[in-house]
Amino acid sequence: MNKSLKAILEAGPRLAPGEVWLVGAGPGDPSLLTLQAVRALAQAEVVVHDALVDPRVLDLAPAGAERIFAGKRGGRPSPAQRDITEKLIALAKAGRRVIRLKGGDPFVFGRGGEEALALAAAGVPFRVFAGVTAGLTALLSAQIPATLRGINHAVVLATGHPAPDRPEPDWAAMARLGQPIVLYMAVRRLPHIAAALMAGGLAPETPAAVIAAATTPDQQILISTLATIADDAAAAALTTPAIVAIGDVVAAREALAPGACAEHDA
């Protein structure tokens, strides 16, 4: 192994008994892990992981490490969030060295923030390690720049699945911003969201895309418009998880995709 790489992998904090590290696993492709994540996994005694985590990533934990599935996946039975945080706290209090592996970036949707808050409240020492977030990487995988000078000065990252006790997001306000909207957890509610954005003034012909299973061999890209994206997504029976992108930046794909190297070029 290259000396600098070895030095990076060997540096950094040690996972102590009773600690929980929240680690971002990225959107799917294991090579999108950070070196911090690789280093953290190598120190795991217990790995508590989401449904979206690639088995090859789990394999980076020591062979003897315990693996606990705590997946949450839209539309399927999954452990309650409270059970997951209680499990993390109990493992830490039992003196285990715990890695909590989360899809994407731990602090972008997906409840990592809540888990960290619960650990802090329980007095459990924790660290959080960044991951590549699905929203931005899904765009990149589809040859859609998140920002283009002259087209946008901001990007809205939003969830299509707000907490049940919270009001519906103000889609009209997002429409008025005129900036690209990148939606997590939005496919099931896409008919409602697209209608609400149009009611808020976003043009029906605004380019829109769904990028499913981004960075994995199952990746699917659907290009449409705001008016037709919900029907097109339903007709295409896209796989999950998926990111929805709405905005003029989506149109850049037409010029970029033909020039991009094929996925599996040697």
Interface with ligand SAH (CB under 6 A): 27-28, 52, 74, 102-105, 108-110, 133-134, 138, 184-185, 211-216, 241-243
Angstrom distance (rounded) from CA 60 to CA 84: 22
Strand-strand pairing, 207-212 and 242-246: antiparallel
What is the closest distance, in whole angstroms, from the C-beta atom of residue 253 to ligand SAH in the complex?
Answer: 16
Nearest distance from C-beta of residue 35 to ligand SAH, angstroms: 18
Q: Which is nearer to ligand SAH, 96 or 210 (CB)?
A: 210
Cβ of residue 58: shortest distance to ligand SAH, in angstroms? 16
Smaller CB separation from ligand SAH, 61 or 142: 142
Residues tagged active-site: 50, 72, 185
Q: Where are the alpha helices (DSSP H) in 102-239?
A: 112-121, 134-141, 171-177, 190-199, 229-236
**Based on CB atoms, which residue is closest to ligand SAH, 67 or 188?**
188
Euclidean distance between CA atoms 128 and 131, whole angstroms: 10
Strand order from edge to edge, sheet including 126-129: 66-69, 46-49, 98-102, 20-24, 126-129
In the complex, which residue's CB is closest to ligand SAH? 104
Spatial neighbors of 96 by CB under 8 A, at least 6 apart, are: 17, 18, 45, 46
Characterize the bridge pairing of strands 220-225 and 207-212: antiparallel
Residue 27 or 207: the one with the smaller Cβ distance to ligand SAH is 27
Cβ–Cβ < 8 Å for 100, 23: yes
